[in-house]
Structure 1
Amino acid sequence: MTAHPHSLELFRRDRVWPFLMPPEPRVDVSHQVILYVEGLNLSFDGFKALNDLNLYVNDGELRCLIGANGAGKTTLMDVITGKTTPDSGTVHFGQSIDLLHHDEARIAQLGIGRKFQKPTVFEAQTVADNLELALKTNKGILPTLFSQLSSEQEDRIHSVLHTIGLVQQKRLLAGNLSHGQKQWLEIGMLLVSEPRLLLIDEPVAGMTPEETERTAELLTSLAGKHTVIVVEHDMEFVRSIARTVSVLHQGSVLAEGTMDQVQNHPDVIEVYLGEDA
């Protein structure tokens, strides 16, 4: 027996039982700020990982976070994404969404995507399949078994393939990609779910100079439509992409400004160059 075409509409990925999906609150950026981090404190066994940290990121901005190991960069991203709960402080997504009241899964649904340093793609699946699996859809068993891509979602995947430069590799198994291409694919897996805020951890570690240059172009192209926060140790890469740099030290923001401004900031010079002076 052949299913009626109208009955198949129920199982489209963008029409699967919408009443089961939580309503998406609007991200209020009426003050142009999309991320408010205020008075954040967190200690681990007496070690002060975050110390009254304050950070404000504008909607559509490309912000770089730099600092020595242990400065609090990864811990800050853990708090923003719900992986870690701080001892005190507040984290708001736009004016009204309190991220500390949500878990990791819900924060991802709200529009915050995170990419870790090591790429985590499905190597036995094709590039296109990786992007399809990453779509923001109901992941229940029945919806997954019976769903089919809508034309809008097919267009989104095609657009992301162009953005990340992997159109020619879309039928290639992800395990056969170069290290840099896997990094781009993982960024693409975030993009298909249409996040407002992207947190990217050390995107160019282990890349060739050509891949590093391409990654700089990719991240720069995302700013505006998305807000992008990049944690990176490669200072030349940071200089090539960042308009605003936040320097973290001992769990606080030590300085903020352009790359030239922070490099010439007296506190930064004292902390990072004082021993060599």
Structure 2
Amino acid sequence: MMSKTLWLESMKYQKAQHPETTSSGGDFLHELTRRDQVFSFLKPPYNPKVDVKNGMLLYVEGVSVSFDGFKAINDLNLYIKEGELRCIIGPNGAGKTTMMDIITGKTRPDEGEVWLGQQLDLLKMDEAQIANAGIGRKFQKPTVFEAITVWENLELAMAGSKTTWHLFRARLTGEQKCDIEKVLALIGLETQYAMLAGKLSHGQKQWLEIGMLLMQKPKLLLVDEPVAGMTHQEMDRTAELLRSLAGDHSIVVVEHDMEFVRSIASTVTVLHQGHVLAEGSMKDVQENPKVREVYLGQ
């Protein structure tokens, strides 16, 4: 039965998260030895409402929003392919956080359209519905539950019923335990499973939060500055983790560390004054005169 501490944390968690219930099996030992792709049970479940038959998962078209007369987002157009790993860069105030707020339903734009696939209009959905549709967001500061263990954090985040009665009476099935073990292996915290999350290093907390999102099987992951404050070794491990998730998930990474961006990105989008200034490979972006002027200070 769930511990009192975990149950109390569950009550807090359910206010912000409303994941769906899905699970799949597979040969655990076989999958643990694979590093070329994500575990099969982590692959997002098929959702007939998320129509990606043309290969495009997210559409942000003609979006603008103002705050007290300041135009934080100005006619923004952004398209994310299914399975793509995209990096978003730009100076402070470029609109990166506001863009993610709009996609997740925290902020409503003054105009424009935002679609997940071709059938889900995100602007007609609230934050919980958007999360249920398959969009997960990781903020810059890790938001793990420090008073409970690594294992319990993943258990808390697991897709499934979050009613009070269910959480109080919850018992993990063998399959669910296997799922948690797979995520622990993926994020590199197998030996820390019984450690209180508050005792983890900064980088380990970042990986744990990514693991918590993965327990919900999102189609799109929005990741805000995942390597801020990390050591070089932790940065390398984070790059490996994000690259392993691409293909089965679409990932949008907002980051300031250009070395890290170069290590993971095939396509980079540069925002400036709430608008796309440039887009392309890291090499193309670095050689773009406008980018060098407004972002690199040259």
TM-score, scaled to structure 1: 0.89
**Is the partner of 1:270 in helix, strand or coil?**
helix
Tell me which residue corresponds to 1:180: 203
> How far apart, CA to CA, are the structure 2 residues paired with 1:14 and 1:154?
15
Correspondence for 2:130: 107
* Structure 1 unpaired stretches of 5+: 1-12, 16-23
Q: Indicate which of 26, 36, 50 corresponds to 1:27.
A: 50
Identity among equivalent positions (%) equals 65
Give the aligned partner of residue 224 of structure 1: 247
Secondary structure in 2 matching 1:240:
helix
Partner residue, 2:237: 214
Matched AA of 2:84: E
User: Are the counterparts in 2 of residues 109 and 136 from structure 1 also a CA contact under 8 Å?
Assistant: no
What CA deviation, in whole Å up to 9, does each residue of 1:172-197 have, x standing for no partner?
11011000000000000000110010
CA deviation vs aligned residue, 1:26-78 (integer Å, no higher than 9, x gap): 31110100000000000000111000000001000000000000001000000
State the partner residue of 1:200.
223
Q: Which amino acid aligns with 1:184?
A: W
Q: Which runs of 5+ in 2 are unaligned?
A: 1-19, 23-46
- TM-superposed CA distance for 1:116, in Å, is 0.3
Output the CA distance in 2 between the equivalents of 1:162 and 1:179: 18
Q: 1:25 to 1:138 in 2, by over 3 A?
A: farther
1:69 alignment counterpart? 92
* Counterpart for residue 155 of structure 2: 132
Match of 1:56 among 55, 73, 79: 79
CA distance in 1, matches of 2:289, 2:199: 47
**CA drift at 1:25:** 5.0
> What residue number does 2:7 align with?
none
1:28-43 to 2 correspondence within 5 Å?
A: 28-43=51-66
Find the counterpart in structure 2 of residue 166 from structure 1. 189
Runs of 4+ in 1 over 6 A off after TM superposition: none
Partner Cα separation in structure 1 for residue 290 and residue 173 of structure 2: 53
Of residues 117, 121, 124, the one that matches 1:98 is: 121
Deviations 1:120-143 (A, max 9, x none): 101010001000100122211111
Q: Which residue of 1 aligns with 2:293?
A: 270
Give the conservation status (yes or no) of the 8 Å contact 2:86–2:267: yes
Q: Please give the alpha-carbon distance, in whole angstroms, between the structure 1 residues aligned to 2:83 and 2:104.
A: 18
Q: Distance in 1 between matches of 2:185 and 2:223?
A: 20
* Secondary structure of the corresponding residue to residue 168 of structure 1: helix
Amino acid in the other structure paired with 2:276: V
CA drift of 1:204 comes to 0.3
2:235 is the alignment partner of 1:235 = no
Which residue, 270, 277, 280 being the options, matches 1:247? Answer: 270
Q: Is the 8 A contact 2:90 2:295 kept in 1?
A: no
SS at match of 2:72: strand
Q: Match of 2:263, as an amino acid?
A: S
112, 115, 119: which one pairs with 2:142? 119
Amino acid at match of 1:42: V
TM-aligned CA deviation for residue 271 of structure 1: 2.3
Give 1:38's aligned amino acid: E
In structure 2, give the amino acid aligned to 1:225: D
Residues 49 and 75 of structure 1 are in contact (CA less than 8 Å); yes or no, is this contact kept in structure 2?
A: yes
- Please say if 1:146 is aligned against 2:159: no
2:107 pairs with 1:84: yes
RMSD: 1.5
* Alignment check: 8 A CA contact 1:25 1:110 kept: no
